[in-house]
A and B are shown apart, each in its own frame.
Chain A
Amino acid sequence: MANEEIKSKLKAFFMSDLGVDGDVLNYDTPLFGEEIGLDSVDSLEIISFVDDNFGVSMTGVAKENFQSIDTIAAFIEKNKA
């Protein structure tokens, strides 16, 4: 799966499942910053989505990998089988 496709899938997930407004969500927007405001409950959802859709486990993974769509996609790229 191309990197762009992963990012686009992630963005669609943030919009449909975590209620994020697509207009303000760019690939480099900080997810846990003030504007988007994700918290620990949302990170559980991200972990579960990534596991189900890309077969990559993010359980216990360092926080910096969750910073933005870019960093999550990079982690998936690096770790997918």
Chain B
Amino acid sequence: MTSNNRRCVVSGLGVICAVGNNVEETWKNALNSVSGIHKTTSLDTKNCYADLAAEVNCDTLDDIECPDEKDRASKLCIKAMKEALNDAGLGDFADSSRVSVIIGSCVGGVLSIEKYHRGGKDANEIPKMPIAAIASQVAESCHAGGIVTNVGNACAAGTISIALACDLIRAGKADVVIAGGSDSFASVPYSGFLSLHALDENGCSPFNHCNGITLGEGAGIVIVESLEHAEKRNAKRYCEVLGAGVTSDAHHITAPREDGVCLLEAMDRAVKNSGIKKSDIGYLNAHGTGTGKNDNAEINAFLKFFGEENPTLSVSSTKVMTGHCLGAAGAIEAVFSIKALTTNTVLPTLHYTAEDSEAIKAKVGSMDYVQNAPRGKELECVMSNNVAFGGTNASIVFSKKPGDVQSQVAKDKKIAVTGIGIVSPIGNSKEVYLESVKNNKLPETASICSTVSNDDYKELGIKMAFYRKLDNLGQLQTVSGMRALKDANLTVTEENAKQIGIIVGTSEGGLGATYDFEELIAEAGNAGGSAFKFPHTVYNAAGGYLSILSGIKGYGVTITTGPLSGLDSIGYSMNVIHDGQEQVMMATGTDENLPIITELCQKLNVAADKVVEPYSNSNGFVVGDGSVSVMLETEDYAKSRDARVYCYALGYGNGRKNVKFGHISGSGEALDIAINEALKDAGISANEIDAVCGFANGLKKLDDIEKAAYARVFGDKLVTLPLFQVKERVGEGRAASATLAAAEAALMLGGELAEENAYFIANDGSVSKKKVSAAGFKKILVTSFATGGSYSAVVLGK
């Protein structure tokens, strides 16, 4: 049985979608087989072949603090969050470090992008644009002071958020996690799915007519709590969350694998991680989008996976009621699954005729594809699946019994850093980067970017048939990822493909591509979208392309929380390895500097107008970009294949003090928490740190936070502690710079970077700079930040 300290329970639910503005209303309508799909009232449908959508109808979304500062996606999410907290009997958390927020989203603040572009470029819209705003504003609304993260895996994001919530609790990093997903209906996804001819003009008909999807919108929140915490406060308990499985198809950027084998692998992982039998699952809330490709892949995968062991499994798709709510889908469907479990009810897929029933029966045999009306059925466990663009598959199990969940089974394994891939404004490989450092290369202008060329593709053997599809972010990501694999001398094979995973951290992800798409349809109308460009708007497209190119089929998650995402990719990767999920993880940080990104920084008055360096007390920073990938693997695995080891990943930590998203001032003490947590995780004291690779970029209010926190944490030692700042050379490359800081630490510990400029902070706060040899370093601290008040730290050591 799952040990009590690994048990995660659900103590509260919240939902808003087309069939209800709360759980009670939504559930009642679901039991009455109500569909929320109607003609859209909010978008222009001129020349569009499909005009249906499942829109939220709620006039109280603005009844929150500062509604003008929030995108509709945040408003939907905060509404569901409030209901869930109320349901759980929880309120304000007073910045408690034990309460986390993890929210999945696909298009995030796309309505604010549209508003900015079509409404006179008002700078107030900018902080509402990235997905990262959602979890941050949820945390700000209830003062959750733990790990705050957004998952950007498109339509699987909601499910992954709940899985990640359990991982954090089981790793001892949180007691309560507000987990879920949110997305709003908007022109970009509507036009995008139209361009793919993926909308069903008659309304979606999953596992039935399968002519396409119908878009919805909404948010779902599940309060996941450690059993211990729930028991202590005598909380309501809906059910347990058992294991989950996340895999990558390595197949196509929009289409799922027809054979469904990687979805099958995700379900297999979920069942194994839960410690249950396949036959324990009584109901499966399928992804069931209504496209032929998705539904047939699922039908095949379910037959193959459950087959003889569970031949009468009940299956349905609730998307005929809610529409496809993208990043919220998994969260809303989790709420349906949990309500189904606790009320012993299986929900139907709607709109089957007698003829349709015969047709599905011929396809699925004895399997119970529930049709038209709900039905009572004694349930012990339910499964919820979601799949996404980029080839992501996610599966999770909710249960009445504790199961036998295995987690942190590899906690005692040492994690080695074995490969580094760098794409930066000063070079597209580790070798060129090191050469540029040696030559003291610095930015020449205040906005710099990396340039991937055909030479990079040629050297890495990437064919034109592949690279022609990539957008800029995908180019940066695939080149840095493939270089990291090469540097680690790791060949992906059929045998090891499932043992390797990828976590991409990104601050803005597909925001630039989304803006590009918005420009296109603002001109051409919603009927004029591009099927070629649309996939790039999802934040996990870059990671998806890397998985397709490399063949990596294991864990694949894109996190998006601001610059620190590039460091959290390392921390979360360590957790995936410690959970025994993968032997090898690629942790990466990627962000781009398209002209629109520099424009947004300028509008926010954070872009410098000339080249500035860290600690220069400036009003802005040099805008940069890049992609940096770091290979992490268990020491055993590294030894088994004679891999070169740069250093070891010893610990990671996070801290948060809530300030408004887009702001940082006043949150500095949370950096102390992140550093101290990382030191504790590594089992060392601040005195053992030989150097810091930090995040200063020249912007005074940011650099001052860093200086002050180091003074508090390191005390007298600070005057002699070398601080290395990669942004001196590559500008503010957000997540790419965060991973680059870690890569630079690894290069110093591994002896490949002999010396580099270091900054020293004197007792009076003044800063000096000199070249320092890395020869004696044994342990290096790496830090990063995100607006809204989050900080992360990682300790690397010999």
Contacts and interface: CB of A to CB of B under 8 A. Distances in A.
Contacts of B469: 19
Nearest to B465: A37
A24 interface: yes
Interface string B173-217: 000000000000000000000011100000000000000000000
A17 B530 contact: yes
B46 interface: no
B195 A44 contact: yes
Interface residues of B, number: 20
Nearest to B469: A19
Contacts of B464: 20-21, 24, 35-37
B463 interface: yes
Interface string A14-29: 0001111100100000
Contacts of A44: 195-197, 531
B467 interface: yes
Nearest to A52: B528
Nearest to A59: B197
A29 to B, nearest CB: 11
Interface string A44-73: 110010000000000000000000000000
A79 B195 CA distance: 23
Contacts of B532: 17-18, 41-42, 45
B254 interface: yes
Contacts of B467: 19
A16 to B, nearest CB: 11
Contacts of A42: 531-532
A36 B530 contact: no
A54 to B, nearest CB: 16
A35 B195 CA distance: 25
B468 interface: yes
Interface in B443-483: 454, 463-470
A17 B531 CA distance: 10
Interface residues of A, number: 17
A34 interface: yes
Given A17-B532, A41-B532, A45-B530, A34 B197 contact: no
B197 A37 contact: no
Nearest to A37: B465
Given A44-B195, A44-B196, A44-B197, A34 B465 contact: yes
Contacts of A24: 464
Contacts of A45: 530-532
A41 B468 contact: no
Contacts of B252: 39
B195 A19 contact: no
Nearest to B466: A37
Contacts of B463: 34-35, 37
Contact of A35 (B465, B470, B531): B465
Nearest to B531: A44
Contacts of A20: 464, 468
Contacts of B254: 41
A41 B465 contact: no
B470 A41 contact: no
A36 B468 CA distance: 9
Most buried by A among B197, B465, B469, B532: B465
B468 A19 contact: yes
Interface string B531-564: 1100100000000000000000000000000000
A18 B197 contact: no
Nearest to A40: B255
A34 to B, nearest CB: 6
A53 B532 CA distance: 17
B468 A37 contact: yes
Given A18-B532, A19-B470, A44-B531, A36 B197 contact: no
A21 B468 contact: yes
Most buried by B among A21, A34, A48: A48
Given A21-B464, A39-B252, 4 more contacts: A20-B464, A35-B464, A41-B254, A45-B531
20 contacts: A17-B530, A18-B468, A18-B532, A19-B470, A20-B464, A20-B468, A21-B454, A35-B464, A36-B465, A37-B464, A37-B465, A39-B252, A40-B255, A41-B254, A41-B532, A41-B535, A42-B532, A44-B195, A44-B196, A45-B531
Q: Which 5 A-B pairs have the closest CB atoms?
A: A37-B465, A19-B468, A44-B531, A41-B531, A45-B532
